[in-house]
A and B are shown apart, each in its own frame.
Chain A
């Protein structure tokens, strides 16, 4: 199979790669770049575990071909985690008991992050809408909404990047 040349920026770092044309963005991240924080739960865009931020928008990376990302910027869970400690959003998930098994968590964090980047003070309805594509089987969602709400309300201190 003929390989495609791809220029892509992931978590601020530029990469030039040769890839199979049918490679999904999810596989590019997990297999080629070893960024395994992005998870595969269904492979058909129904669960949101593979959510990443593509040019500022939360997307399911299982539904996007890597080849479609030429020249574009991707942010994964590894990219929103500070070198030291946790971001306020992550801290709020921790403080509010919003994490149980943790498999949906990276996708949840990125959906929430994309929302807060565009709308730092969302209403509860806007929060519910923003993460309605992210499935969680453990928490019943309530504590996840509370965690995002706490950041939006400024109860979790926002220092620098979310």
Chain B
């Protein structure tokens, strides 16, 4: 019987189709600052040693370095657990955001099953992995038994066509898709991103799509690996891998097509990610802070875009701009390329790699009444630590252009005025 990507990948032990429930052993399992809580739950199970420490990857990123004693205690407990359980794949506070690190370190591989106790684990689907978020108790159960149950999801295929306009990036495209399909548009589904635009996209752009697939409720996002994937994984892949592809006649529950040749820059407005409007309609909204960071949009190509806009210019004097590279590797590359210098000279504040204010913990949380424009993936009430603040989401280009004027801009105006050379 013809099978979708996700049916194939979950058919390791017995043949399964959409709707069936099965138990499976993931290839890799990621947890971050929540590992101390998971360890606590694991201990309640009553066994001493975790099943296959080699399967587990632990990355500290959500509040690094620790913002106060409680976070410090949390990190300390994690380090003790890592030692006790002999988990080799441990990345301390110096490495970066978990999802970026998993990809850079070659764990996100075609054909693999990867779970993470974080909803944006869907990111690794950019490499053709089946990757999804799970809860802390479920991770504790995997520590104990190596196993987890899944219901095999149905598949939605999103084909993206057209010529990518100058000011548009993967972020605008995924915001448009989420705005149309809504926050529950892909609930429980496996979302397959395909079409010429996806093929043309860089690896970083593809990661933006799969990262945000969860914002429309998807169980996982998936892109078929190709030569670009193989090139990225060369000298990086941890283990041997075998890509899986959907059979041509497999059952796709829903087909959507997006033609993006005329797409305008998109903004997700407070307080839901699916409250998406063209930038031209929210243009002029005053902002207090720009956050250029997160696992969605703080990779090297994003730094190039932002630095190209801000080079030899100053950000607006009523504005703060917090910049956080997604990983220390990106930080170094951006330094070498001169981007960091451009940003600092323009007036931005550089913060060490990690999640920063994205979860409301530290490094740029907001005060009541403040408005932020962010390159991250979530704008829920209180997300940046204060429920009386507002968060708008955009592409790095829109954020950079808006930094110059202190209000949300339609970045196409800027490109026109600079002769199009900034994209």
Same complex: no
State the A residues within 8 Å of B (CB). none
State the B residues within 8 Å of A (CB). none
